[in-house]
């Protein structure tokens, strides 16, 4: 079997950031998949399951209500390795274009207080697996240490060696 493109990225050199993972043509449109990498793979602990689940609920809710972007959001969800999330947007975009959107999204999560949207037995398949304090903490860390001071090293995948 051929190795899929996301497995060809050198994860030993990958930093936290926002990366274009792939662009696919669907019908007459391009769908851009972003790697929203919150942890350095294999070099720091992964996100806790409760934290990333809460980030998923809050980010998906925020993005699907953002007046500028809501009609372009296809999907937001966690990576299986628990080091980040995927964001799929309808359209052809670069990481730098969505940086302001990600800043707003993670600011929203870092400051969020109250009930987690969709965190009930009726609305969620694992509604007890949430951790708002850690979701806020991880979002603040990502916001302050990566998004607010992002360089090209945080916006472009490392070159193959």
pLDDT tens-digit map of 101-155: 999 999 999 999 999 999 999 999 999 999 999 999 999 999 999 999 999 999 9
Residues 6+ apart with CB under 8 A from 46: 39, 81, 82, 83
Q: What confidence category does residue 9 fall into, taking pLDDT thresholds of 50, 70 and 90? A: confident
Measured distance CA(130)–CA(57) in Å, rounded? 9
- CB-based contact 130:53 (threshold 8 Å): yes
pLDDT at 2: 78
Q: pTM higher than 0.85, yes or no?
A: yes
Where residue 1 falls among pLDDT bands split at 50, 70, 90? confident
Domains of the chain, start order? 5-154 (3.30.1360.80)
What is the distance of C-alpha 84 from the center of its chain? 5
* pLDDT tens per residue across span 16-58: 999 999 999 999 999 999 999 999 999 999 999 999 999 999 9
Strands 17-26 and 84-90: unpaired
């Amino acid at each position: 079997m051929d190795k899929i493109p996301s497995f060809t990225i050198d994860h030993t050199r990958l930093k936290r950031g926002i990366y274009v993972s792939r662009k696919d043509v669907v019908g007459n449109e391009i769908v851009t998949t972003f790697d929203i990498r919150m942890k350095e793979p294999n070099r720091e602990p992964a996100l806790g399951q409760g934290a990333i689940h809460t980030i998923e609920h809050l980010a998906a809710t925020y993005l699907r209500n953002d007046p500028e972007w809501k009609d372009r959001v296809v999907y937001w969800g966690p990576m299986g390795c628990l080091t980040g999330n995927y964001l799929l947007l309808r359209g052809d975009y670069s990481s730098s274009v969505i940086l302001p959107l990600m800043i707003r999204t993670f600011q929203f999560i870092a400051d969020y207080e109250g009930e987690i949207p969709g965190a009930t037995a009726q609305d969620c398949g694992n509604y007890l697996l949430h951790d708002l304090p850690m979701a806020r903490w991880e979002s603040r860390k990502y916001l302050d240490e990566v998004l607010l001071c992002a360089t090209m090293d945080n916006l472009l995948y490392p070159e193959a060696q």
